[in-house]
C-alpha cells in the first residue's frame, strides 16, 4: 500500500488460528528500514475487572452520563503479552489473501449460475449470497469481477425494473425477471406477437405472453406479460428525483 512507502517502520496485527487457545493475536513486523530484524509478539486482550473499570472511567471520562459510562466499561481491555512468533507479515497475509481470492472466485461462479436465467433485485442477490455464506465484501468483489466478464454483470432500475435496483447478466433489454409466486392456477397461457411503442418513440416487437381467464380479448383480466409470463411489459418510465440514490454499489 502507498502509505507504507512513506514510513520507516510498519507493524501489522492478525488473529492467530489456535483452536486450543482462542482470542490470541499477533503483532508482526512488515517493514523496518532502520532497525534490525525483529520477531513478532503474541498477545491477548483481557477485560478489566470492576474496580479497574471504575478507576479508568473516573480518571478519564468522569463527566459522561451514566449510560455512556456503562457502554465504555464494556470496551475496556488490557493487553497481555503471551510470547513471541517467527511469523512475518508476508507469510501471514499472503495466506489470508489467497483464501480471500478463493472465496471471491467461488462467489463469482455462484453469482453467474444464480443470474444465468433471470435477473434479481439487488436485495435478493445479497440475501441469497449471505445464505450461501458469502460476506458483503466478497460479494462486492465478485460483482466487480463479473463487470469485466462476458456477458458482464449489469444493473438497472428503469423500465420494467423500476422501483429497485436489479442485477442481471448482459443488456437489461434482454433480461427476464425472476418468477413471481402467484398461486393462481386458473389462468390459461397463450403466446402472441405484439408490438408496443415506448416513450422513447421506438417500437419494440417481442414474443410475449397473455394470461387471461377467458378467450375474449375484451376481458378486464387480460394482462400482457413478458416472454415467460412473469412480469408486466412496461414502457420506459420517466426518471424520478433521487432514483439513483439506492445504488447497488453503495
Q: Does the predicted model carry a pTM greater than 0.85? A: no
3 state DSSP class of 140: helix
Mean pLDDT of 55-73: 88
Average pLDDT, stretch 46-50? 91
Question: Does 22 score more than 70 pLDDT?
Answer: yes
Give the Cα separation of 194 and 209 in Å (integer). Answer: 9
**More confident position, 17 or 136:** 136
CA 94 to chain centre: 23
Residue 99 confidence (pLDDT): 67
Q: In this structure, what are the phi and psi dihedrals at residue 92, rounded to the nearest 5 degrees? A: -65, -50
Q: Which CATH architecture has domain 93-174?
A: Orthogonal Bundle (1.10)
Close Cβ partners of 170 (under 8 Å, ≥ 6 residues apart): 151, 152, 154
Beta strands in the chain (DSSP E): 9-15, 25-32, 40-47, 77-85, 120-121, 153-156, 166-169, 188-197, 203-212, 223-225
27 close to 87: Cβ distance less than 8 angstroms: no
Average pLDDT of the residues in 219-232: 37
For range 93-113, the mean pLDDT = 82
Average pLDDT, the chain: 75
What pLDDT does 232 receive? 40
When pLDDT is averaged across residues 114-118 and rounded to a whole number, the result is: 95
Direct distance between the N- and C-terminal alpha carbons of the chain, in angstroms, rounded to an integer? 23
C-alpha–C-alpha distance, residues 107 and 202, integer Å = 38
Is the pLDDT at 120 greater than 90? The verdict is yes
d(CA 250, CA 247): 6
Write down the pLDDT at residue 140: 93
pLDDT for residue 5: 77
- Count Cβ atoms within 10 A of the Cβ of residue 115 and give its class: 0-12 exposed, 13-18 middle, 19 or more buried: buried
| Burial of residue 176, with CB atoms counted within 10 A of its CB: 0-12 exposed, 13-18 middle, 19 or more buried | middle
Q: Average pLDDT, stretch 146-168?
A: 92
Peptide bond into 164 cis (omega under 30): no
Report the 3 state secondary structure along 53-109: HHHHHHHHCCCCCHHHHHHHHCCCEEEEEEEEECCCHHHHHHHHHHHHHHHHHHHHH
Angle at which helices 89-114 and 136-146 cross, to 10°: 70
Start and end residues for every CATH 1.10.10 domain found in the chain: 93-174
pLDDT of the residue at 15: 84
3-state secondary structure of 9: strand
pLDDT in tens, 73-88: 889 999 999 999 988 7
- In the numeric block, the cell 422501483 is attached to 163
∠ CA 249-157-235 to the nearest 5 degrees?
165
- The answer to whether residue 209 scores a pLDDT higher than 50 is no
Amino acid at each position: 500500500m502507498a502509505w507504507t512507502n512513506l514510513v520507516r517502520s510498519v507493524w501489522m496485527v492478525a488473529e492467530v488460528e489456535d483452536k486450543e487457545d482462542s482470542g490470541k493475536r499477533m503483532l508482526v513486523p512488515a517493514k523496518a528500514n532502520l532497525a534490525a530484524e525483529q520477531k513478532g509478539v503474541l498477545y491477548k486482550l483481557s477485560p478489566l475487572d470492576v474496580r479497574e473499570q471504575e478507576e479508568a472511567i473516573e480518571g478519564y471520562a468522569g463527566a459522561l452520563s451514566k449510560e455512556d459510562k456503562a457502554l465504555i466499561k464494556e470496551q475496556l481491555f488490557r493487553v497481555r503479552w503471551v510470547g513471541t512468533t517467527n511469523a512475518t507479515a508476508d507469510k501471514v497475509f499472503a495466506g489470508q489473501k489467497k483464501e480471500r481470492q478463493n472465496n471471491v472466485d467461488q462467489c463469482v461462479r455462484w453469482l453467474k449460475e444464480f443470474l444465468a436465467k433471470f435477473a434479481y433485485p439487488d436485495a435478493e442477490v445479497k440475501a441469497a449470497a449471505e445464505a450461501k455464506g458469502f460476506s458483503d465484501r466478497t460479494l462486492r468483489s465478485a460483482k466487480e469481477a463479473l463487470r469485466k466478464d462476458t456477458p458482464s454483470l449489469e444493473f438497472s432500475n428503469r423500465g420494467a425494473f423500476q422501483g429497485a435496483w436489479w442485477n442481471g447478466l448482459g443488456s437489461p433489454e434482454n433480461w427476464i425477471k425472476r418468477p413471481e409466486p402467484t398461486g393462481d392456477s386458473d389462468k390459461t397461457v397463450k403466446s402472441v406477437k405484439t408490438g408496443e411503442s415506448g416513450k422513447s418513440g421506438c417500437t419494440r416487437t417481442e414474443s410475449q405472453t397473455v394470461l387471461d381467464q377467458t378467450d375474449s380479448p375484451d376481458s378486464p383480466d387480460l394482462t400482457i406479460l413478458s416472454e415467460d409470463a412473469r412480469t408486466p411489459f412496461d414502457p420506459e418510465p420517466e426518471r424520478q428525483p433521487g432514483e439513483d440514490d439506492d445504488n447497488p454499489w453503495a
